[in-house]
Amino acid sequence: MYTCANCSVHACEREDHGNLPKNCPMNDMVNLEKIRQSYLEPETNRFFLNAALVEAEGYCEWPRLRETIEFCKKMGYKRVGMAFCGGLKNEAKIAADLFRKHGINLITVICKTGGYDKTEVGMTDRHKTRPGEFEPMCNPIAQAELLNGQNTEFNIVLGLCVGHDSLFMKHSNALCTVLVVKDRVLGHNPCAALYTAEFYGRKRLLPPTPVI
């Protein structure tokens, strides 16, 4: 089992690859060399190098929104899709307008497309956020298929729910990136939970202590 998150060596960040932990992935350099070769495939190579160029050019200068736009421009994308959460429709409009100013047509599909009530796919009424009312389901598969039908070259995820984003990416024909991760509690800044995990945010992250 790999445990890079708990490593204190990080030989991967140095030219000298000595002193590897026993469970370091780099102990299997034969496999890693095969993987490295995949970056030399023309389509993958172009995609990866343009991503690296955006990283270098905008390092600590461009916000992720600008990085995403510049990456699309370097790739020559003209038809970019965006699957967004209805709770962030204002943010989606701002992004769409900005992309178009850069000459990129952003094709956007909202999460509630289809307008099905959640009970139509098996959810019980009592598990709705508003029991007893019509509550449209999120429809990430439709978002992906609709963008597939528009022949988008690249797709952007803006604020889809946990798991719904996974279904969208599974069904998307085009490669995807994430512009916004939704976190209603922390103002869409999930890293704040990590920064406060051992202090103020502890109670929100750990299961309650059982009463004996």
Helix (H, G, I), strand (E, B) or coil at 104: coil
39, 49, 63, 80, 172 from 96: Cα distances, Å: 31, 25, 16, 10, 19
The SS3 call for residue 105 is strand
What pLDDT, on the 0 to 100 scale, is given for residue 105?
92
Three-state SS at 117: strand
Return per-residue pLDDT of the chain as tens, 212 residues: 999 999 999 999 999 888 899 999 999 999 999 999 999 999 999 999 999 999 999 999 999 999 999 999 999 999 999 999 999 999 999 999 999 999 999 999 999 999 999 999 999 989 988 899 999 999 999 999 999 999 999 999 999 999 999 999 999 999 999 999 999 999 999 999 999 988 877 888 888 777 66
DSSP-derived pairing of the beta strands 154-158 and 79-84:
parallel
How much is the pLDDT for 65? 97
Q: What is residue 211's predicted lDDT score, i.e. its pLDDT?
A: 66
pLDDT score for 53? 98
Among 179, 160, 180, CA closest to 170: 160
So what's the pLDDT on residue 208?
78
> Any residues with CB less than 8 A from the CB of 187 and at least 6 apart, and which?
none
